[in-house]
Structure 1
Amino acid sequence: MALTAQTVLVANRAAYTPRSLPDVFSQVAYPGQMKGLGALPEPPMHPGNAGLALETRLPPSLNPEPYRIGVGDVLLLATKSAASTVEQLTGLLAAQNQRQGYTVRDDGAIAIPDIGPVTLAGMTLDEAEAKLFQVLVENQIDPAFSLEVSEFNSRRVSVGGAVRNPAVVPITLNPLNLSEALAAVGGLTAKDREYASIRLYRNGTLYQIPLETFVKRPELGKTLLTDGDAIFVDTSYDLDRAMEYYTQTLRATELKRNARHTALQELQAEMSMRRQVQMDLRDNYRTREEMGGNKRDYVYLAGEVRNQGRFVLPYNQQVTLADVLYDKGGFNTATGNPAQIYVLRASSDPEEFGAVTAWHLDARNAINITLATRMEMRPNDVIFIEEQPITKWGRALQQMFPTILGSASAVN
Structure 2
Amino acid sequence: MGSPKAAEESLGGDAAPAGALTAISSELIVRQRAERATEVKREVKRLFGTGRAYRIGAGDIVNIVVWGHPEMALTPATSNRSTGSSSQADVGNGYNVNPDGVIQFPFLGPVKIAGLTENQARELLTNRIAKYIRDPQLTVRVQAYRHDRVYIDGEVRVPGLQTMDDVPMTLPEAINRAGGFTPQADRSSVILTRKNISTEINLPQLTRLGVNPNRILLAGGDLLRVVNRDESKIFVLGEVTVPRALQMRDGRLSLTEALGEAGGASQLTSNPRQIYVIRKVPHDKDEGEEKAEIYHLDAGTPTAFMLANDFELKARDVVFIDAAPVVRWNRVISNVLPSYNTLFVNTRNTTR
TM-score (norm 2): 0.48
Q: Which has the higher helix share?
A: 1
* Larger Rg computed on CA atoms: 1
TM-score (norm 1): 0.41
Q: Which has the higher strand share?
A: 2
Q: Which has the higher contact order (CA 8 A, sep 6+)?
A: 1
